[in-house]
Structure 1
């Protein structure tokens, strides 16, 4: 299996774990893999009470190459923000509250989940 295919499978598994985690919190999953442009995608769009949450999921089988959160930079957050605005326009939903969260899934057999809420673009 190529490294690209392996990374895709790991990423998809991490997103599935994150979706289950959010559902267990009582959130509603509205959409997965919402594509805004060739380079911008939101992994999970969910509803947390009256707030729409745009969730980026980063998955690693180990921390050998750094913690998953280290893979997020300001440019990535800006792309998620733009994609989120596009989603709100597309759905014509009028949510007063929205935010960006990041979920880290780390580990192969018993993955640990970390959830950072309300990430700032600053």
Structure 2
């Protein structure tokens, strides 16, 4: 499976899982001049900015480990842009990460949700 397709499948799996966890999906692939956030959702009364990461193996670590400090800062800047644009400053917010591993056949092997990841 090519990288782009793997990302699409991972995001679909994440959305499906998040809905089952009670999240209400508000936006997918939210784009701003600063970049993109994979999923924006509400979990109860909290606005959640979600980064989805996927890999086909753990040789180089888990997918969720790729959300390093620089990526966290970028997501925070994009989230700030979203809050300004939607005038949502008063909402409680958090940042979650979904890590997805695929097997050799391109099927989801495991999915981990890290709430309040950073």
Shared fold per TM-score greater than 0.5 = yes
Partner of 1:21: 17
Give the secondary structure class of the aligned counterpart of 1:111.
Answer: strand
Partner of 2:45: 50
Distance 2:46 2:56 in 1: 31
Q: Could you tell me whether the CA contact under 8 Å between 2:53 and 2:99 is conserved in 1?
A: yes
Partner of 2:75: 80
Partner of 1:117: 115
Structure 1's consecutive aligned runs of 4 or more residues displaced over 4 angstroms after TM superposition are none
Distance 2:108 2:96 in 1: 22
Give the secondary structure class of the aligned counterpart of 1:104.
Answer: strand
Structure 1 stretches of 5 or more lacking a match?
none
| Count of aligned residue pairs for this structure pair | 115
Distance 2:90 2:9 in 1: 29
Partner of 1:65: 60
After TM superposition, give the deviation of residue 95 of structure 1 in Å.
3.8
Partner of 1:35: 31
What TM-score does the superposition give when structure 1 sets the normalisation length?
Answer: 0.86
The Cα offsets for residues 39-76 of structure 1, whole Å up to 9 and x where unpaired, read as x2100000001000000000112223321022111010
Distance 1:26 1:68 in 2: 23
What TM-score does the superposition give when structure 2 sets the normalisation length?
Answer: 0.89
Structure 2 stretches of 5 or more lacking a match?
none
Q: Could you tell me whether the CA contact under 8 Å between 1:51 and 1:95 is conserved in 2?
A: no
Q: Could you tell me whether the CA contact under 8 Å between 2:6 and 2:54 is conserved in 1?
A: yes
